[in-house]
Chain A
């Protein structure tokens, strides 16, 4: 099936080149954004009048949470593209995104638990937001297990892709869980239709931390994607030329 000419840009060789070109720029963005963001997060931003200094965990917890959901959406779209148009690079992208997504989901849960103890008095509560995020972690683990379990079968990519797309139903549930149910977790402060409800002195470092962490993860994924492409196409001439 044709992809309106896009298949040219999604060939393994082209994707490898794009990842190689973008990597240094992503690193530059990550360093600049994290320098500004972490300065504000740990020193510059004012102390919260209710939570005190412990609210500074937000600057690391929120980017991890946003990335855990975003990476899953990237995987779901990539899986669809692989299943419909058989774009092999999209399957490679899913392969590298799943462990990173699982790691970020676990970090979200751990940093949230550490933040929860001084603010809620408990590391864990069976709250809708926390529980749906935990389910996301299990879905990530299931996808990784399925990929390794079906490593030597011909329909590995299709099976993993189908599970990934079905699992995407959990993403809006996580996002809207704080609106749909009575939860201990606070509501949306940034990703909402109206303007953000955080003071700008706290918001700007948070946005910088989000941008910096997104760029850092994209940088790491660009390296992993290049390695995965080389692994899958070792016998192709362009890879052998690259190796020599």
Chain B
């Protein structure tokens, strides 16, 4: 069995890591976008 299959638990492990990575990336993107707009003196939405 390959390393990425995690002994048959690949779906469980990778879905958790993917979910956290996506959430943190989205939070960073939203925060960065918000800051960029306020720096220009505009409203983000």
**Chain A: residues with CB nearer than 8 A to chain B?**
42-43, 47, 52-54, 56-57, 60-61, 64, 100, 103, 107, 110-111, 114-115, 117-118, 216-217, 219-220, 223-224, 226-227, 230-231, 234, 240, 242-243
Contact = CB atoms under 8 A, between A and B. Distances in A.
B13 A53 contact: yes
Interface string B32-45: 10110011110010
A227 B20 contact: no
A52 B7 contact: yes
Contact of A54 (B12, B17, B23, B35): B12
Contacts of B19: 107, 110-111
Interface of B: 3, 6-9, 12-13, 15-17, 19-20, 23-24, 27-28, 31-32, 34-35, 38-41, 44
A226 B35 contact: yes
Contacts of A216: 24
Given A60-B17, A220-B24, A226-B35, A234 B9 contact: no
Nearest to B32: A223
Contacts of A217: 24
Nearest to A234: B41
22 contacts: A52-B7, A52-B9, A53-B6, A53-B8, A53-B13, A54-B6, A57-B13, A60-B17, A61-B16, A100-B27, A103-B23, A107-B23, A114-B12, A115-B12, A219-B28, A220-B27, A223-B34, A223-B35, A224-B34, A224-B35, A227-B35, A231-B38
A167 to B, nearest CB: 22
Q: Which secondary structure dominates where chain A touches chain B? A: helix
Contacts of B39: 230, 242-243
B9 A118 contact: yes
B9 A53 contact: yes
Nearest to A221: B31
Given A115-B12, A118-B12, A243-B41, A56 B35 contact: no
B28 A53 contact: no
Given A118-B12, A220-B28, 9 more contacts: A42-B13, A54-B9, A56-B6, A60-B17, A107-B19, A216-B24, A219-B28, A223-B35, A240-B41
B15 A223 contact: no
Contacts of B35: 223-224, 226-227, 230
